[in-house]
Chains A and B, each alone.
Chain A
Amino acid sequence: MSRLFALTRRELEAHFFAPVPYLVMFLFLLMTWMFFVVQTAGAHIRVSFQPVFESLTFVLLILVPLLTMNSVAAERAENTLETLLTAPVRDWQVIAAKWLGTFSFYLTMLVPTLVYWAVLVYLGRHIGKPDTGPVLAAYLGAMLLGGLYIAIGIFASSLTENALLSAFLAFFTLIALLVVAYIPEVSSLLPDSVGESLTYLNQQEHFAVFLTGKIAAYDVIYFVSMTAFFLFLAVRALESRKWR
């Protein structure tokens, strides 16, 4: 346990020693702020928290690959992977720590968005504050969505030693999950059951449910299982050194 903790801590700290994560955090806050302002500062004020995370599926599409691109790829390129894996740690611990560390950084990125909630509570003091439940549901959704994106990013990073390539791989994997079900040519060609499966894989379908304020086991299971699946793939990619 102390090993996993030490690995995770170093992973999180690495984010604070590099410039890119700060840039990612800045862009994240800028984008969520824009969506927030556009929705709330217009003529029709909506006292709703939803807009802040409404485009999260797309915002993170670009930002998470930047956050995870170095994760395993840089260790491969710098050869520190050899030092790391010849310490008495298991491959799954390394991947788990990479995920936990990046996820912790993502959570710190989410913290400042609580300000928008506070602003809404203040603005809505006469016309009705936003309900707490839906806001919490939105946060849970944002965490699950981020967790899945990070898992996909780490998987992509574990495939190559080129950070840029890994960012592109993550980006295209995320795009693929998102759009496949929406391409009419694809869905019309496929039997209904397959089309439904593709829709099931679409992260936006599930995330949108959280934004409506609902927390359904169906959607939670989607995110948890998909995250676990991509982390499993990342572990296998790390192990590939043994049979390549």
Chain B
Amino acid sequence: MPAIQVENLTKRYGARTAVDDISFSVEEGEIVGFLGPNGAGKTTTLRILTGFQPATSGRAFVAGYDVFNEGIRVRENTGYLPESTPLYREMRVHKYLTYRATLKGVPRRLRREYVESAMERCHVIDVRDRIIGHLSKGYRQRVGLADALVHRPAVLILDEPTSGLDPNQVRDVRDLVKEISVDTTVLFSTHTIPWVEQVCERVIIISRGRIVLDGTLSDTRKRVAPWSRVEIHTSAVARDAMEVLDKLERVFFVENLTIGERTALRFLTSKEQVNDACADAEDALSSISATMGEPIVGDAMVEDLFTRLTRGSEQVVVRA
């Protein structure tokens, strides 16, 4: 049985469907990125998997246990880091971790050893006697991670483990998660793509409560390989330019990148037709008497697929 198995899971809040009939599985030892824009249903799904909330319908198994009937077993074998890393701020780091280890059923004789090794793994040894509330956000995040893995769970579920961190802290946490994934199954949610590209083998993209992509990273890269991304500058107003470009047959998914005065746009097109597409774009812009600068052509990236899948109208389910 896979480490995580989700079957036709649905969660409704009144009339709103937060998670809409999703199914996926995570094999033992895998590290999987659960990707989606805010409000796509990531947190809800993770909360269901950790037994914090039940689903409206469907089934889920974590570490071989039924989430709805064997909640305690699931939680004994799962480490969970909720979004925003809630911690008891008045406690000292090692006392907090010892308390958490006790709650999670680590036997007394092993507790000290488990806590020490969790602190070591997460590099919080040097703040072990500090009060959690006095720590920086980066350290608190690592204490949260140490808490999630202190009982040596088979499965680690992390909800947005890097939100609100600065780039250095993001890198620290990312490396840490990579280290942990050596002997633990990891499912983590995020809305930033580089993260996923650097640590994951597989990615699941969720949008509006539905899974729009589920595949390995190399498959995903293959999928974007025939595509180019083109960036152009134009003298037209962004809205007008997007309107005419959207009508073109060889131009897909026009995005507005404008920051300064000059309008900057990005679109996708197939690699073979990239020159034609650029010509089409120039013609279209000149029809509204605007000029277009030299286009910058590059390979499409996973990020482009993500934007397309989560914001575009076309929603294709691809399974590895």
One digit per residue, 1 when the CB lies within 8 angstroms of any chain A CB and 0 when it does not, for chain B 304-316 equals 0000000000000
Q: Which residues of A contact B105 (CB under 8 A)?
A: 3, 88
- Residues on A with C-beta less than 8 A from B52 are 82, 85-86, 241
B160, chain A: closest CB distance, angstroms = 13
Known: A83-B82, A86-B52, A86-B80. A10 touches B99 (CB 8 A): yes
A residues contacting B by CB (< 8 A) are: 2-3, 6-7, 9-10, 14, 17-18, 78-83, 85-90, 241-243
- The interface-forming segment of B84-92, B134-142, B210-218 is B84-92
Number of A-B contacts (CB under 8 A): 62
Known A14-B90, A79-B84: A87·B53 in contact at CB below 8 Å: no
Q: Are B86 and A87 in contact (CB under 8 A)?
A: no
Q: Mark B12-56, 1 if CB is under 8 A from A, else 0.
A: 000000000000000000000000000000000001001111100
Q: A80-B87, A87-B104 are known contacts; what are 5 more A-B pairs with Cβ within 8 Å?
A: A78-B86, A80-B88, A85-B52, A88-B75, A242-B54
- Bound-state CA distance A79–B86 (Å) is 6
Quick check: is B108 within 8 A (CB to CB) of the other chain?
yes
Listed by A's residue number, 29 A-B pairs whose Cβ atoms lie within 8 Å are A3-B102, A3-B103, A3-B105, A6-B102, A6-B103, A9-B99, A10-B88, A78-B86, A79-B82, A80-B86, A81-B86, A82-B47, A82-B52, A82-B86, A83-B80, A83-B87, A83-B147, A86-B50, A86-B51, A86-B52, A86-B75, A87-B100, A87-B104, A88-B72, A88-B73, A88-B103, A88-B104, A242-B53, A243-B54
A81: chain B residues within 8 A (beta carbon) = 86
List chain A residues, Cβ under 8 A from B147. Answer: 83
The answer on a CB contact under 8 Å between A2 and B108 is: yes
Task: State whether the Cβ of B246 lies closer than 8 Å to any Cβ in chain A.
Answer: no
Q: Least Cβ distance of A85 to chain B in Å? A: 6
Q: Which residue of B lies closest to A83 (CB)?
A: B86
For B80, give the chain A residue with the smallest CB separation: A86
Q: Complex Cα distance A89/B103, Å?
A: 7
A82 to chain B: which residues have CB within 8 Å? 47, 52, 82, 86
